[in-house]
Chain A
């Protein structure tokens, strides 16, 4: 699928950047004239992925978080959130609803479940000690005047 527009950014894994990251992605996607609910879905999924980098990937350290957003044909948005943190040993287990390695910090273990239900596709590639890339994809409803 042809890429029609693309944006990349990187920032430090400070919790104060969680709001910045989801708002920046949302601002970029706004050019597709999404519905409020679609935009909220995207913001929420990005917030989950970025928070996981802050909380888990770079636990007790500060590292870089990389986001790439592509707008493709047919109103398809593909968002990659990448870290070079600790990685995930067992991705299947990590993606199970309610699974968390940080219950004492009031993590619900719902981040991946939220990404999966708010987006059309979620792909996770991870290597222990190397980092994690989460790819989120959503096709926006085509509305008159879009193009």
Chain B
């Protein structure tokens, strides 16, 4: 997992399989940086993720709540085709944190 920082945003590049087993480490690493930097935007970049079950949805919702605590936002970016079904089913689109198709986000480069 790689993390990059801009002035006011942090991008977490998630990789591999996200399941109940791996979510714990990902959560701890992400929250450590977020709590230290308190960015106004947290980008969760899924481009390197091969597999994700509902534990990944729990992870996104947890970060959404954490960021909301101090007025920050979460953005879910670069979701691979294979994860689209899971993301759609989750109802996360209602939170308006999903990157829209065609819209590229600066900090993901």
Contact = CB atoms under 8 A, between A and B. Distances in A.
Given A18-B20, A19-B21, A51 B55 contact: yes
A47 B82 contact: no
B54 A108 contact: yes
| Most chain A CB within a 10 A radius of its CB, from B27, B58, B61, B82 | B58
B79 interface: no
Interface stretch (A75-83, A85-93, A113-121): A113-121
Interface stretch (A35-43, A57-65, A129-137): A35-43
A105 B61 CA distance: 11
B99 interface: no
Interface string B43-58: 0000000011111011
Contact of B21 (A15, A36, A105, A110): A15
Given A40-B82, A108-B90, A114 B19 contact: no
How many chain B residues sit at the interface, stated as a range, is 20 to 34
A106 B53 contact: no
A36 B82 contact: yes
Contacts of B82: 36-37, 40
A22 B93 CA distance: 27
A125 interface: no
Given A37-B82, A117-B89, A107 B58 contact: yes
B21 A18 contact: yes
Given A37-B82, A48-B54, A113 B89 contact: yes
Contact of B19 (A18, A36, A40, A105): A18
B88 to A, nearest CB: 9
Given A108-B90, A111-B54, A51 B19 contact: yes
A47 B61 CA distance: 19
12 contacts: A15-B20, A19-B19, A37-B82, A44-B51, A47-B51, A48-B54, A51-B19, A54-B20, A110-B54, A111-B54, A114-B89, A117-B85
